Structure 1
Amino acid sequence: MQAQGAEYQMHHLYVQNHDWLSRWLYTKLGCCHQAADICHDAFIRILQKWRHQGHFPDIEQPKAYLTTVAGRLVTDHFRKQSLEQAWQESLASLPEKDVPSPQLLLQLRETLEEVDRILNSLPQAVRDTFLLSQLDGMTYKQIAEQLQVSERTVKRYMAQAFAACILLENDEV
């Protein structure tokens, strides 16, 4: 009986809010197709959460809840779009003889997307520390000065970032 009630709640949430959420997303994205895709993804995300938890979440303010879920998806969309643009610009700057094979390009792209996902799951300070170290080549002391934290904190942040990277590597095995 609980599952039937949850199915009804999901159906009701969808019927009552789908059109509103699609319009809200259109105002953010300016594209009806992207708005439809993200609207769909928002309801799928809620459905997955319901299935994972074993019961439908108690949603007191459906529009606020949907705005939060869809807003996160919009942020992900723009981050992926930015990553895609940087990827295309990087490839375009390579001499033709240095362009990797299609198979290698696919592997590189998938790895880049996974690293991006992992980095964006880290707290901001950890992510900033990792990027300053790995991309800008800064020492821990320089990072500590720039972020106004102790070197010990920088070491802790780096350990946290490396642990996330190691988990990524182990998941691929």
Structure 2
Amino acid sequence: MTASLPLPSALRLQVLHRLFGEHHGWLLGRLRARLGCAHDAADIASETFTQVVALEDPGAIREPRALLTTIAKRLVYASWRRRDLERAYLEALAQQPEAVQPSAEETVLALEALTAIDQLLDGLSPKARAAFLYSQLEGLTYAEIASRLGVSVTRVHQYVVKGLTTCYLALEPA
């Protein structure tokens, strides 16, 4: 994409309509083949085009299929991560005694919170994310984390501070 002036709204709608008409079927077919589920493919395709609509200047898109593929891959990856997170949470709940099992509403709220935290931490580098999670969830020492990640203890400290700062800033009112 190149920098250009935003399109007038009528022209913008024409560009978006053309993009959708020319590429929706292609994207949906690729997603169906990749995911093996027509419903998931339709959801991802829909969200992909929603993100294209949100672009400032869709007329500047030079390689629509490359852009659509990139957006769709990110959405598929995020979907898989959410499912893995949900599965892990539900498996952990199944291990708990019935007396401490949360209600269905509490479970949904916890899953929403976990998904939000996951999205928040997605902005960190993989090593920073891992260091933060090892520290906060597994209670590992910085030395243990440094050994696992192959970095210095100082670097682990920086990673954990970055994770904590990211979480703190997300809690601040806008």
TM-score (normalised: structure 2): 0.88
Number of aligned residues: 168
Larger helix fraction of residues: 1
Contact 2:86 2:111 in 1 (8 A): no
In structure 1, C-alpha distance between the alignment counterparts of 2:109 and 2:67, rounded to whole Å: 36
Identical counterparts, % of pairs: 35
**2:88 maps to amino acid:** A
Q: Which residue number corresponds to residue 150 of structure 2?
A: 148
Q: Choose the corresponding residue for 2:38, options 28, 32, 45.
A: 32
Q: Does 1:126 align with 2:128?
A: yes
Corresponding position of 2:66: 64
What secondary structure sits across from 1:5 in the alignment?
Answer: helix
Identify the residue that residue 18 of structure 2 maps to in structure 1.
Answer: 12
Equivalents in 1 of 2:33, 2:20: separation in Å? 19
Task: Note the C-alpha offset of 1:106.
Answer: 3.2
Query: 2-side partners of 1:140 and 1:92: how far apart?
Result: 31
1:169 aligns to what? 171
Alignment map for 1:106-117 (pairs within 5 Å): 106-117=108-119
Taking structure 1 as reference, are residues 143 and 87 closer, same or farther at Cα in structure 2, changes over 3 Å only?
Answer: closer
TM-score, reference length from structure 1: 0.88
Would the aligned equivalents of 2:131 and 2:156 in 1 still touch at CA under 8 Å?
yes
Which structure exhibits the higher relative contact order, with contacts defined as CA atoms closer than 8 Å and separated by 6 or more residues? Answer: 2
Give the direction of change, closer, same or farther, for the CA distance of 1:33–1:62 in structure 2 (3 Å limit). Answer: same
Task: Report the more deviating stretch, 10-19 or 75-84.
Answer: 75-84
**Which of 58, 79, 82 is matched with 1:80 structurally?**
82
Indicate yes or no: 2:27 matched with 1:21. yes
List gaps (5 residues or longer) in structure 2: 1-6
Q: CA deviation at 1:57?
A: 5.2
Q: Which amino acid aligns with 1:131?
A: L
Aligned with 1:68: secondary structure?
Answer: helix
> What residue ranges of structure 1 are gaps of 5+ in the alignment?
none
User: Per-residue displacement from partner, 1:11-43 (whole Å, max 9, x unpaired)?
Assistant: 110000000000000011101111011101100
- Partner of 2:58, secondary structure, is coil
- Compute the RMSD of aligned alpha carbons: 1.8
Aligned residues of 2:15 and 2:59 also touching (Cα < 8 A): no
Cα drift, residue 92 of structure 1: 2.0
CA-CA distance at 1:99 after TM superposition: 0.9
* 77-86 or 56-65, larger mean C-alpha shift: 56-65
